[in-house]
Amino acid sequence: MAREINGRIAADSWLRRRPMAVDVAIAAIVALIALPTSVSLTWNSDWQLQGRLALIVLIVLIHACVALRRARMKAAFAVVSLAMLVLVIAPALGGEAAIQMGSEFAPILLPCSIAFPVILYSVAMYGRGREPRIALLVAIVGSTITAVRLWEPGNLTTGVPTGNAWRLFISGAMLASVIAPWALGRFRSVHEAYVGALEEQSLRAEQDRVHETERATALERSRIAREMHDVIAHSLSVMVSQSEGGRLAVERDPSIAGPVFSTIATTGRSALTEMRGLLGVLGSADLSGRAESQGARSPQPALSDLGALVDRVSAAGTSIEMTERGSRTDLGRTGELAAYRVVQEALTNVVKHAGPGASVDITLIWSSAGLTIDVCDDGRATNPADNGGRGLAGMRERVELIGGQLKVGVHEVGGYRVHARIPSSVTTTGEAQQ
C-alpha cells in the first residue's frame, strides 16, 4: 500500500514538473479522437477546394491550441473562440459528408469542436482574476449563437425531435457544454488552492518546529552557560581566596592547614558534583528534547544549601551574617535555584572585588508574593561588570526569566548591594495563565 502511494506521489510530481508534455499528450488524445473524422467530413463536403483546405487548416489550428492551453492560455482561448465563431457562421457542409450524417449540417457540429470545452476548462482552472468570468461570458454568448444557428433541426438525421422539443434540447446541450467544463475547472482551481494552502501550512509548521527546537536548544545552552559560570566562578574564587589566606596563616600557625585544606576540598567536591550534572546535559544527543529531563536528574542546589554555601565562604575569611524573616512560600525548583545562584554570585563578587576584611549581610524576606533577597557588603564599591565579568548579566537574565526583578549597584552607606525579588510558584503560574 505504501509503495503504491509513493508511486502515485512520484507520478504526480513528475507530471507537475512537465506541464507542456502533459498538454501535448492531451492534445494528441483529443486529436486522435476528433481530427480524422473532422478532416474526412470536411474533405468529402461539397465546398470548393480552397474552402475545404482553409477549413482543414482551421481544424488543425484548433487542435494545436489544445497543446498550448497553459503555455499560451489567453491566446489559445482567443484563437479557439474565433475559430468556433467561424464554424458557427460558415455555410452548411453537404455532398458525401451530408450523406454520411443524414443531411447537411453546420461545421460547428464537427468533432473538432470538442476542443473548446477543453480550453474553457483550462481558463477556468488556471486563469487569474477576472479571466475565468470573462471566458464564461464569451462561452455563453457563443453557445447562444450556436443554439440560434441550430434552432431549426431540418432533416439532420432520422429520429431527431422537431419543434420545441428540439429547441429545448439544443439550448440545454449548448448551455451544459460550457457550464460543465467551466464549473469543473473552477472546482479544480479551488481544490488546488486548498491543497497548496495545506502544503504551505505544513511547511510553515515544520519551520516553526525547527525554529522552536533551535530556540529551545539556545535557551538550554544559555542555561548551561550560566550554571557553569556560577559554579566555576564561585568555587574557584573561594578556593583561590582560601589558598592565599591559608598560605599566609599557615606560616604563623601550621595547625590552621587542616581546616584550610578541608574547606578547599569541600568546595572542590561540591563544584565537581555540579559540573558532572552539567556535563551530563552537554553530553546529551538532543539538547532540545532531553536537556530538561537531564537537568531534573542532576543535583542542582536549592535554598536548603544556602547554609553550606555561607559556611564555605565564611571559612575563606569573609564575615557573613544571614537573616531570614517571614514564612517560606513555594518558589518551585527553578525559583529556588535562581535564589541560590543570586546569593552565590553576590558572595563570589564579594570575595573577588570587595577586598580583604569585607563583611556581608544577607537578608531573606518571605511574603506571599515570593522571596526578597538583599546582599550588602561594606567593602570596596566596585562594579563587577567593570572587570569584564558576565556574572551580573547572567544573574539578571536568570531572575527575569522567571518573572523576577534584580537591582545592583553601590550601596548608599558604602559597599555594594544586590537586591532581587523571586516570585513564588503560585504567582508565576497565575501570571502565566493570565
pLDDT by residue (tens digit) across 35-88?
Answer: 999 999 999 998 999 999 999 999 999 999 999 998 899 999 999 999 999 999
The span from the CA of 333 to the CA of 220, in Å, is 16
Indicate whether 264 belongs to any domain.
no
pTM greater than 0.85 (yes/no): no
In this prediction, residue 117 carries a pLDDT of 94
DSSP 49-82: HHHHHHHHHHHHHHHHHHHTTTTTHHHHHHHHHH
Residue ending a domain, among 160, 188, 205, is 160
The answer as to whether 246 is a domain residue is: no
In a domain, 187, yes or no: no
Q: Which of 211, 217, 215 is nearest to 282 (CA)?
A: 217
Q: What is the mean pLDDT of residues 253-282?
A: 64
Instruction: Please give the tally of structural domains in the chain.
Output: 2
Report the DSSP pairing between strands 319-325 and 359-367. parallel
Is residue 92 domain-resident? yes
pLDDT, tens only, 220-230: 677 666 666 66
Asked if 422 and 398 count as a contact pair (C-beta separation under 8 A), the reply is no
SS3 378: coil
**Residue 75 maps to a domain:** yes
pLDDT for 108-130, tens place per residue? Answer: 989 999 999 999 999 999 988 89
Residue 250 lies in a domain: no
Q: Give the domain-ending residue among 116, 143, 160.
A: 160
**Contact between residue 349 and residue 410 where contact means Cβ atoms under 8 Å apart:** no
Q: Can you tell me the distance from the alpha carbon of 66 to that of 60, in angstroms, rounded to the nearest whole number?
A: 10
Tell me the residue range of the domain where 342 lies.
Answer: 304-310+320-434
Domain-terminating residue out of 160, 183, 211: 160
Helices 391-401 and 164-252 cross at an angle (nearest 10°) of 130
Taking 80 as the threshold, does the pLDDT of residue 433 lie above it? no
pLDDT, tens digit (0-9, with 9 covering 90-100), for 335-368: 888 888 888 888 888 877 777 778 899 999 999 8
**Of 132-141, 242-251, 309-318, 335-344, which gets the smallest average pLDDT?**
242-251
Evaluate whether residue 215 is within a structural domain: no
The rounded percent of the chain whose pLDDT value lies above 70 is: 70
Q: What SS3 class is residue 242?
A: helix
**Confidence band (pLDDT; 50, 70, 90) for 213?**
confident
Domain CATH code at residue 357: 3.30.565.10
Question: What confidence score (pLDDT) does residue 1 get?
Answer: 53
**184 is a domain residue:** no
